[in-house]
Amino acid sequence: MVTGLIAKEDILNYKIVHAVDHHNEELQEKLVNAVRLGNTFKSKVTITFMTADGPKKVETTVWNATKEYIELKGGILIATKSLLDITY
């Protein structure tokens, strides 16, 4: 699956859709770690998520995560059901 790296500010230009094969439960531990890295160490993670144009990647800091959404700096939200992978 080919993914395009985009800037965090460009996320709002894409329609975020649910991933056909999302791994919400599997990614919960990674989300907890991503929030810890963002809030404690100001470290960025790479998030791969599904859009109507196909999968996209963004390198950013995760400020908060719930079961429904992850929050990035600037109040940008991404639905957890659209997540494909998180790497750090």
**Predicted local confidence at residue 18, as pLDDT:** 94
**Amino acid found at 5:** L
Low-confidence stretches of the chain (pLDDT beneath 70): 1-2, 22
Phi, then psi, of 64 in degrees rounded to 5 = -155, 155
Extended strands (E) in the chain: 4-6, 45-51, 54-60, 62-65, 69-72, 76-79, 83-87
- pTM reported for the whole predicted model: 0.91
